[in-house]
Structure 1
Amino acid sequence: MKLKHLLISTFPVWMFTASCNKFLDVKPKTQIDGNDVFKDEQGYIDALTGVYLNLNADKLYGKELTFGFVEVIGKQHTTITATSQEYYYPSIYDYLNTASRSKTDGIYGGMYNAIAEDNNIISHLNADGPTKFTGVNYRVIRGEAYALRALMHFDLLRLFGPSPVATDAATVKAIPYFEQLTVSAPARLTTADVLKKVISDLSSAEADLQDIDPVSPASTTPSTNSGFLRSRGLKMNYYAVKALQARVYLYAGDKEKALAAARSVINSKVYTFAPKSTVTAGNRLFSQELIFSIPKSDMTTVITNYFTPPAIGAGIGNVLTKSDAEYSQVYESSTDIRYSQLTGYDANTRIRYSTKLSQTTETARIPMFRMSELYYIAAECLMDSNPQDALNYLSAVRVARDVPALSNTLTPAQIRTEIFKEYQKELYCEGQLFYYYKRLNSATINGATVGKAQYVLPLPDDETEYGNGGN
C-alpha cells in the first residue's frame, strides 16, 4: 500500500454516494476534476465534510484510534487472553502478526488518504482566494483544513515515530509530512521536524479562526443554529485548535506554550463541567465539556461487540474491558460518577464494562478533545513550578466527578501519579493513555515492559521497501 497509490486518487468514495449524486450528473466519475468539485462554496463544504466522514471510519477515530487499537496497546483493556480475540496480537505488541498489521496499515493508509483530500481543499482554497465564499466561510473552511492536517499528522507521528524524548529521536526518520497533493511522497522527517510543521499548520489555523469562529464569545461572527456555521463543536473550531496546540506543545516538551494554550481554553469559560444531574440522566459524554467531537451515527452497531456482556458460558468474546478489581483500583471510589454512571456490571458473567459510548443515535459522537484534558495539561506544566496551582486544576475535575479534592501537601511526584490516574479514568475509550506513556518514554505500560519495539508501530512493508526518504 504505497502512499503514492493513495495520493493519485484525489476524490473520495463519499463523492459518489447517493448523497452526492450531483457530481454524477456532470460527468462520469472517472472524469471528474477539481474545477467541478470546487466550482463554488458548497463544493468546498462538501469536500470538507468528506474529510470528517473519513475520520469517523472504524479504522480511524470511529474505533481504532479511540476505544479500539490504541486503547488496547495502552493497556486500558486488559481481559484479552485468547488468540481468538480480535485484539489479542496487538495486546501483546505483536505488530507483525496479520491481525495487527491489518489495523496498523489501515490507520496509516486511512490517515494519509484523508490528508490527501484535505490537501486538495487547501490547494484550491489558496489558488481561488475568497471570491467564491460568503461572509467568513473562506477563513473558517481554510482554518479547519489546516487544523485537520495538523491533527492527522500529529497522531500519525505519535504512532509511527519515536517519542521526542527517545534516545534516537533526533536521528531516526519518522513519517512524511504532506503539504500538497502529489503522487510523489516527500521524505520522512524526524520527530522534531514533523512537530515544527504541525505547529506551523496550527498557527495558520489559529490565524484564520481566532476572530471569526462563532464558538468564541469574542468572535465578530454571531452563533447560529442553521447553515454551515452551526454545530461548531462538531468541527475543528478555534478552541479545538488551542486544545491541539496544548497537546502538541506538551508532547514537544514546551510546557510554557502548552500551559498558555490550555489556559486560553479553560479561562474562556465557554466550557463548563457537566452537572451530576445531567450525567445521571444519561449525559455519559459530559457533552458540555466536549470541545470537538465527531458524529458517529452507527455507534450502537459498532460498540455492541465490544461493550456488551456475552451470554452465560460464552466466554468474554471481544468485550473490551478490565477486571472488576482493576476498575476498583483505578477509580478508587464508587462515588466517582465515571465509575457509578459510566460502567455497568453483569452479575451473571461477573463482567464490569464501560457504558460511556452507549448513546442514542441522535447524540452519538466520538470525543476528540474535552475540557478536562486541558486541566491535566495545565497541572502537569505547573506541578514543579507551582504545585498548588497544579493541585487546584486536578481537584477541580475531581470535585466535578464527585470525588474529594486532593491534599495540598502532595509532592510533584505524587501529583504526577494523580495526573496519570486521571488519564486512566477520564479519558477511557478516548485513546490518549498510550500517548501519555510514550510521551514520557515510560519503561512499562501497566506492568508490561516496553521500549521502541512497542512504542513505534511498523510502517507498511512497501513504505520501508520503496522509500519515503528511508531512515
Structure 2
Amino acid sequence: MNKKNIIYILLAGALFSSCSKDYLTVDPQSTINPDQLGSSSAATLGTLRGVFATLRSATTTGYAGHEDYGHKGVLSVIDLMGNDVIMENLNWGGFNYNYTGRVSTNSRTHFPWFTYYTQIKNVNTIINSVDANTDDAELRGIRGQALALRGYFHFMLARIFGPTFVGHTSDLSIPINADTALPNRSTVGEVYAQIEKDLVEAVAALEGYTRPSKEMVDQSVAQAFLADVYLEMGKYPEAAEQANAARQSYTLLSEADWKNGFYDMNQAETMWGADINAELTTFVASFFSIFDNTNTGYAEGGNISIDRRLYDAMSSTDYRKSAFLGSEGGVFSGTEYGPYISLKFRDMTSDRTQGDYIYLRSSLLYYIEAEALAKSNNESGARDVLFEITSKRDPQYVKSTKTGAALIEEIITQKRIELWGEGFAWFDLKRLSKGVVRNYAGSNHPTYGKFDIPVGDSRFLFMIPQAEVDSNPDILPNNPQ
C-alpha cells in the first residue's frame, strides 16, 4: 500500500457510494452531484443526514462485531472501562472492560478511529463546499452542524487516543483533519485549538437555527459540546457559561420519565440522539441488546450491573437507586436477577427492538456548570446548581455545605450516579487524574475485571490502530502498550 494516511483513504468514495444501507435509504448517492453541495440545501442536507444515519448504524466500520453500533457503541464500551459499570460475563464490550482491546492489533482500537475519522471526512465535504458567509439560513445551519460534529469527533478521538489537556499541551495527540488532513500527530494544544475554533464557529452559525428533529444538532448541542471541551481545557468560567446557556430550553425529567428506560429520544432532557425504528433496527448489534438486562439479547437474564460502592453512595430516598437491584438481587417483571443488576436501560417499544439511542442529555450540563463554578471560586453558585438537579432526584437532599475538594467530589459522585452507563465516567477519571480501582475489599467486579490501574498508566491511552500505522508510518510514535 502507498504511504498514505488512512484518514485520507478511509472508505474511499463512501460519501458518494455506499457508506451503509441506511445511508442509501436517506438519499441515494447516485442522485447527489458533489457540485450541488454548497448551493443546494437539499443535497447538502442529504449528505448531513447520511452522517447522522451512519452514526446510529451497526457494523459500518467493519470492526468490533456486535458492539459496533455507531456513536452509542463507542460511548458504551468506553463506560465499561471505568469503575462503575460491571460486565458479569464477558460479552460484546468485554475487551474494553478487561482492557485487552486498547492495543493496536485489536479491532477495538479501530472501532472509534474509523467511526469518527470517516465522518470527519464526510463533514469536511460539507464545510468546504458551503460558503461561511452564505446568506442562505438553511445552508448556514447545515454548515454549523458540520462544524459542531467535526469539533466533537476530534474531541472524542483526542480523549480516547491522547492525553488530557491540562499539563500535556505539548504532548502528542491525534492527527487533525480540518483544512488539510495531516499525516502526523498534532500536539494536544494544537488539537484542542482546532476543536475550540470549530465549536465556537458552530455556536455562532447555529444562532436561530431550528432543527427538524433531535437527531440533528442545534445551537444548544454545540454549546454543550463546547462546555465539555472548556471543562477539559480548564477554562472554567467559559465552561460554566456555555453549560448554563445550553440547558435553558430543556426541563429535567420527572421521576416516572427517568425510570422509564431511556429508550425514547423525544423525552424532555434529550438534546441529541438517534431515532430507531423497525426498518433500521439491528437489535442483536445494539445498545439494548448489550445493556438491557430485561430483554432478549446479550444482556438477557442480567449481565450489566453497578459497582456496589456507587450503589451504596445513593441515598435511600434517591429514586435513581431503584433503577438497580441491591446486594441481594431481586425479582423484576417475574424474572429473578442477581445482585446490583441494572434496570436503568429498558427498551419499552412494542416489540422491544426499536429503542432510540440517547447520546446527550441536558442533565450533564448541570454537573459541568457546577464543577466549573466551583473551580472558578464560586462555590455558592456551584452548590445552588448541584441542588437544582439533585433535589429533583432526591426530595430529601439537603443543599451541600462542602467546599474545596470535598465539593468537587460530591459533584462528580452525583454525575456518576446520574449518567451511569452513558459514556462519561472514564473520561472524567482521566481528566481528574483518578485511577481505576476495582480490586477493593468486597468488590463485586468479577475476577477478569478485578484490577487497579494507577493514574498516568499507559492503559488510559488507546494505541493507534495497526492498520493506520502500516499505511502511514509518519503517524508514529504510537502510544505505549
What TM-score bracket applies, with the shorter chain setting the length?
0.7 to 0.9
Q: Quick one: which of 220, 230, 235 aligns to 2:216?
A: 235
Structure 2 contact 243–369 (Cα < 8 Å) conserved: yes
Distance verdict in 2 for CA 1:368–1:315, change over 3 Å: closer
Question: In structure 1, what is the Cα distance between the partners aligned to 2:93 and 2:427?
Answer: 18
Query: What amino acid maps onto 2:385 in structure 1?
Result: Y
Partner of 1:206: 203
Aligned counterpart, 2:356: 365
1:363 and 1:75, CA in 2 relative to 1: closer, same or farther beyond 3 A?
A: same
Distance, in Å, in 1 between the alignment partners of 2:219 and 2:241 is 15
Partner of 1:291: 271
Q: Which amino acid aligns with 2:169?
A: A
Mapped to 1, the partners of 2:400 and 2:175 lie a distance apart of 45
Match of 1:126 in 2: 131
Q: Give the TM-score taking structure 1 as reference length.
A: 0.81
Counterpart amino acid of 2:109?
Answer: T
Secondary structure of the residue that 2:73 maps to in structure 1? Answer: coil
Change (3 A) 1:7 1:185: farther
More displaced stretch, 355-364 vs 415-424: 355-364
Query: Equivalents in 2 of 1:20, 1:272: separation in Å?
Result: 31
Deviation at 1:442, TM superposition (A): 1.6
Structure 1 unmatched ranges of 5 or more: 27-31, 215-228
User: What does the per-residue CA deviation read over 1:322-379, in whole Å, with 9 as the maximum and x for residues that have no partner?
Assistant: 36x456314332x423232577954634252233252427983322332221111111
Name the counterpart of 1:53.
53
Trace 1:12-411 onto structure 2 (pairs within 5 A).
13-14=18-19, 19=25, 22-24=28-30, 34-35=34-35, 40-58=40-58, 59=68, 61-67=70-76, 69-80=77-88, 85-95=91-101, 101-126=106-131, 130=134, 136-165=137-166, 169-180=168-179, 185-210=182-207, 212-214=208-210, 229-231=211-213, 233-266=214-247, 268=248, 270-279=249-258, 287-297=267-277, 298=281, 301=284, 302=286, 303-308=288-293, 319-322=303-306, 325-326=308-309, 328-333=311-316, 335-341=317-323, 345-346=330-331, 348-351=336-339, 352-360=341-349, 364-384=355-375, 385-411=377-403
Aligned partners of 2:26, 2:44: CA distance in 1, in Å? 13
1:60-88, Cα deviation, whole Å (9 max, x unpaired):
64543222x101112332244x6x53333
Q: Distance in 2 between matches of 1:240 and 1:412?
A: 30
State the distance in 2 between where 1:381 and 1:262 align.
Answer: 9
Question: 1:348 is paired with a residue of what secondary structure?
Answer: strand
TM-score when scaled to structure 2?
Answer: 0.79
How many residues are paired up? 431
Q: Secondary structure at the match of 2:304?
A: coil
C-alpha distance in 2 between matches for 1:148 and 1:419: 28
**2:240 maps to amino acid:** L
Would the alpha carbon gap of residues 339 and 284 (structure 1) be closer, same or farther in structure 2, given more than 3 Å must change?
A: farther
How far the C-alpha of 1:407 sits from its partner, in A, is 4.2
Letter in 2 for 1:89: F
Q: Find the residue that maps to 1:420 and give its secondary structure.
A: helix
The 1-side partners of 2:323 and 2:458 are apart by: 37
Deviation (angstroms), 1:421: 1.4
Alpha carbons of structure 1 residues 36 and 101: separation in structure 2 relative to 1, 3 Å: same
Question: SS at the partner of 1:353?
Answer: coil
CA distance in 1, matches of 2:169, 2:128: 31
Secondary structure of the residue aligned to 1:367 is strand
CA offsets 1:170-194 (integer angstroms, 9 cap, x no match): 33321111114x7x64432111111
Q: Which moved more, 1:409-418 or 1:115-124?
A: 409-418
Aligned residues of 2:294 and 2:302 also touching (Cα < 8 A): no
Question: Is the alpha carbon distance of 1:96 and 1:206 closer, same or farther for their aligned partners in structure 2, counting shifts above 3 Å?
Answer: closer
**Using a 3 Å threshold, how does the CA distance of structure 1 residues 177 and 282 change in structure 2: closer, same or farther?**
closer
- CA distance 1:349–1:144, change in 2 (3 Å): same
In 1, distance between residues paired with 2:427 and 2:197?
A: 21
Change (3 A) 1:38 1:79: same
Q: Deviations over 1:208-256 (max 9, x none)?
A: 112x223xxxxxxxxxxxxxx422x332110111111110001011111
Identity of aligned residues (%): 22
Report if aligned partners of 2:347, 2:354 keep a CA contact under 8 Å in 1.
no
- Letter of the structure 1 residue corresponding to residue 378 of structure 2: N
1:95 and 1:300, CA in 2 relative to 1: closer, same or farther beyond 3 A?
Answer: closer
Deviation at 1:425, TM superposition (A): 1.3
Distance 2:373 2:423 in 1: 24
Change (3 A) 1:274 1:186: same
Counterpart residue identity of residue 248, structure 1: V
Structure 2 unmatched runs, 5+: 59-67, 440-451
